[in-house]
């Protein structure tokens, strides 16, 4: 978790966004659930990361 939070701090995003972006670099299809629009927006913004920063 410390490494995840460190990366999130470097790119000014949430640790959840970093985790989701990393999952996407592994050619997988994560299932994202959101009960609020803010949660969905947070998850979708993970798509904007440069994959080189996440690997």
- Residue 52 is predicted with a pLDDT of 54
- Residue 36 is predicted with a pLDDT of 92
25 Cα distance to chain centroid: 10
- Residue 1 is predicted with a pLDDT of 79
Question: pTM value?
Answer: 0.72
Going by C-alpha positions, the residue among 12, 13, 46, 6 that lies closest to residue 28 is 46
Mean pLDDT by 10 residues, the chain (55 residues): 86 86 83 87 77 59
Q: Do the Cβ atoms of 21 and 11 come closer than 8 Å?
A: no
Q: Do the Cβ atoms of 19 and 6 come closer than 8 Å?
A: no
Locate all alpha helices (DSSP H) within the chain, ordered by sequence: 2-11, 15-25, 37-44, 51-54
- Residue 37 is predicted with a pLDDT of 93
């Amino acid at each position: 978790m410390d490494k995840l939070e460190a990366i999130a701090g470097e790119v000014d995003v949430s640790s959840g966004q970093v985790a989701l972006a990393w999952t996407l670099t592994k050619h997988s299809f994560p299932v994202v659930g959101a009960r609020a629009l803010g949660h969905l927006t947070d998850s979708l913004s993970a798509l904007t990361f440069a994959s080189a920063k996440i690997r």
